[in-house]
Amino acid sequence: MATIDLSTYSFDAMVFDVDGTLVLSAPTHFKAFSLALRDQYTSMDEEWYQQRQGLSRFELLTALNQKNGGKIDVARAVSDSESYFLACIQEVTEIDAVASIVRREASHYPMAVASSGQRSSVEKALDEVGLLSFFTIILTADDITACKPNPEIYITAAARLGLSPSRCLVFEDSDEGITAASVAGSTVIDVRAYTVG
């Protein structure tokens, strides 16, 4: 697996997405969605899910509901899938190429989390892999009015760090997240180049 070289970037802080960036959680999320939807006698195609991993839980299930003709109780599916995910949290593992940067650089740069996930699952996932203590600023879908690709979460993260977004180096794994960070004015590293294949 390739190492992410930070030497060519100019920045004063780092901001990290979580799912797919710091932790490998997509299989566990898909399992949780499948269990929640099974309870409503429906399902989600895995390829369809993989193409939309940058969406928040609510946005993903709302899109599925529209696709399925409005047959899903979205609020119930959001709550149930979150519960199922937390019940399976031990299946989540860290993504070494990115997690190693946090461990190595935490004493040198301020760091924040900016995730479209819900706070409970984001914090539990980070705690599961031993990364939670590295972050004092954790922003999630619960803290903003518009999720990625809207830039709000990255603008807010930079403000909490006391910096302009242009001074924040962002680590992302989804098209939605990359768009959000880019529109905010941050430099973005697409970690898929280092974690896929």
- The whole-angstrom distance between residue 134's C-alpha and the CA centroid of its chain comes to 16
Average pLDDT in the 75-88 region?
95
Contact (Cβ atoms closer than 8 angstroms) between residue 191 and residue 16: no
Domain count, the chain: 2
pLDDT, one tens digit per residue, over 106-126 is 999 999 999 999 999 999 999
Question: What domain range is 70 assigned to?
Answer: 26-90
Q: Is the pLDDT of residue 21 over 90?
A: yes
Q: Look at residue 7 and give its three-state secondary structure.
A: coil
Phi, psi of 190 (to 5 degrees): -85, 105
Same domain, 136 and 190: yes
Same domain, 135 and 84: no
- pTM equals 0.89
Phi, psi of 124 (to 5 degrees): -65, -40
Same domain, 58 and 131: no
Contact (Cβ atoms closer than 8 angstroms) between residue 16 and residue 126: no
Range name among 5-9, 141-145, 184-188, 191-195 with the lowest pLDDT average = 191-195
**How confident is residue 53, by pLDDT bands cut at 50, 70 and 90?**
confident
Sheet strand arrangement including 187-190: 137-139, 111-114, 13-16, 168-172, 187-190
Q: Which of residues 38, 70, 90 is at a domain's end?
A: 90
Running DSSP on this structure, what letter comes out for residue 186? -
Strand partners, 15: 112, 170
Give the C-alpha separation, 91 to 2, whole Å. Answer: 24
The answer as to whether 158 is a domain residue is: yes
pLDDT, one tens digit per residue, over 23-32 is 999 999 999 9
